[in-house]
Amino acid sequence: MTKLIFEKGKPGRRAIHLPKMDTPDYMNTLSKKYMRKTPADLPEVSEPDVVRHYTDLSTKNFGVDANFYPLGSCTMKYNPKINEYMAALPGFSDVHPLQPEHTVQGCLELMHCLQQLLCEIAGMDAFSLQPAAGAQGEITGLMIMRKYLNDHGLEHKNIILVPDSSHGTNPASAALAGFTVQTIPSDQKGQTDLQQLKEMVHDGVAGLMLTNPNTVGVFEEHIEEIASVIHSVNGLLYYDGANANAIVGIVRPGDMGFDLVHFNLHKTFSTPHGGGGPGSGPIGVKKFLEEYLPNPVVKKDSDRYFLDYSSPCSIGKIHSFYGNFGVLVKAYCYILNLGREGLIQVAENAVLNANYIAKRLGEFLKIPFDKGFMHEFIVSYDTLLDQGIHAKDAAKRLIDFGIHPPTMYFPAIVSEALMIEPTETESKETLDRFCDLMEQIYQEGINDPELLKTTPHTKTVRRLDEVAAARNPVIKYME
């Protein structure tokens, strides 16, 4: 068990030696009532103690730089370090957001170019880089939809449709934006049930939120018809770009009929996802919605870039300053570095890798909706329930082998679901090792179920009550 820093060291040990004070001792001028009565109980440690302590801690955190991370719906791909380096260049990292525009022309140019690249990739006409996450992109898009509908005498439209496989943020964002949410069932192929959709669509429908490929990893083959059904009642089609890693450079949401799109730069475009940020969820729109984008938008006139606050229809600001600028730099470098051909290869390899694993796992596991996956797929781990083995047991066992568990129990429409997304950055050797381990674990489930029920066995943290850990975290050293 790792000792806490407070439990290490001895009185009098120091990691730093401060020079003697050469300024007046202001402590004596402070009123006594503001002073501590007893010295703070701080750890007294040497430099090696500190360095070893934090180096040890750093190895306890799992990340994609450490090992394979096949977390479905999250695109935990390796992010090239060159992009981190570029974002850390002083010209990008040392600027202040309140600097006059003429002193930050390079940063504004980068944002302007990124807006244009995202327009091209999404098939949209304008982008705002402000939202700091996918979920914030969603709420921004829904606020734009609300304002647009109100401005066009369509206040009565207040229903947002979402498929039953949708990510929880979709209905949550719609509710937060004041809409009523209705759920469309999926059909046998894991796609939006077109017949049901047609029956549910009427004049009160404001729009549909969809991710394509959807969260079971299947491409919605009727997307154009879905778009025309929604548009036939003057509704709007919102694209949740969380799964864009499967389609970048190949198809564009704008060409499928979507009116609004958010991308998760922290999934598809080279910023590590997970760990709570910083992220970025730029929102793109078709021309008729452009004036509703959050202020300011980066624009260019003949010889300078500027922040345009002039749109009277804008929904206003939704993030301080201009969004998470460092993430924008990484995305820009990533896109330029790969180019069009490189982006296409990203999507193709992401899909190839997922299908390779699905094929191998399908030899012993149950795979629903197995008609052509895109970048991720679902396993239904319900064939060992008689042995008392659940999806969670198999997922936790992977931790013993240094692999992050896949997403568990999502989407809720599949029993004992494991959602696996290998991403394009993994080699065949890594994929084979994962498949071999999954097979070994399945055999363990048959032959030694207790082993699985008590995993992980090799880590500092064993079976946690995840809900309690999230709701009642113990973050204090001592009570």
Binding site for ligand PLP (CB under 6 A): 73-74, 133-135, 167, 169, 211, 215, 240, 242, 264, 279, 281
Q: Tell the smallest beta-carbon distance from residue 17 to ligand PLP (Å).
A: 45
349-383 as b/e, with b when 16 or more CB fall inside 10 Å? Answer: bbbbbbbbbbebbeeebbbbbbeebbbbbbbbbbb
Nearer to ligand PLP, 130 or 215 (CB): 215
Nearer to ligand PLP, 73 or 83 (CB): 73
Instruction: Return the SS3 of 411.
Output: coil
Amino acid, res. 103 = T
User: Which is nearest to 406 in space by CA: 386, 435, 432?
Assistant: 435
Q: Tell the smallest beta-carbon distance from residue 85 to ligand PLP (Å).
A: 24
What whole-number distance in Å separates Cα of residue 144 and Cα of residue 455?
Answer: 47
Nearer to ligand PLP, 281 or 294 (CB): 281
106-129 as b/e, with b when 16 or more CB fall inside 10 Å? Answer: ebbebbbbbbebbbebbbbebbbb
What whole-number distance in Å separates Cα of residue 173 and Cα of residue 169?
Answer: 6
Nearer to ligand PLP, 192 or 211 (CB): 211
Q: Tell the smallest beta-carbon distance from residue 171 to ligand PLP (Å).
A: 11
Nearer to ligand PLP, 39 or 276 (CB): 276
Q: Tell the smallest beta-carbon distance from residue 410 to ligand PLP (Å).
A: 9
As given in the structure block, the two tokens for residue 331 are 């995305």
Q: Tell the smallest beta-carbon distance from residue 126 to ligand PLP (Å).
A: 21
Q: Tell the smallest beta-carbon distance from residue 411 to ligand PLP (Å).
A: 9
User: Which is nearest to 189 in space by CA: 216, 163, 170, 149?
Assistant: 216
Residue 310: exposure state from Cβ atoms within 10 A (0-12, 13-18, ≥19): exposed
Amino acid, res. 279 = G
User: Which is nearest to 53 in space by CA: 43, 62, 38?
Assistant: 43
Nearer to ligand PLP, 279 or 323 (CB): 279
Evaluate whether 129 touches 112 at the Cβ level (below 8 Å). Answer: no
- Secondary element (H or E) of residue 338: helix 325-361
Nearer to ligand PLP, 169 or 192 (CB): 169
Q: Tell the smallest beta-carbon distance from residue 317 to ligand PLP (Å).
A: 19
Nearer to ligand PLP, 135 or 149 (CB): 135
What whole-number distance in Å separates Cα of residue 138 and Cα of residue 47?
Answer: 46
Tell me the residue number closest to ligand PLP, measured at CB: 134
Residue 237: exposure state from Cβ atoms within 10 A (0-12, 13-18, ≥19): buried
Q: Tell the smallest beta-carbon distance from residue 166 to ligand PLP (Å).
A: 7
As given in the structure block, the two tokens for residue 24 are 């007046």
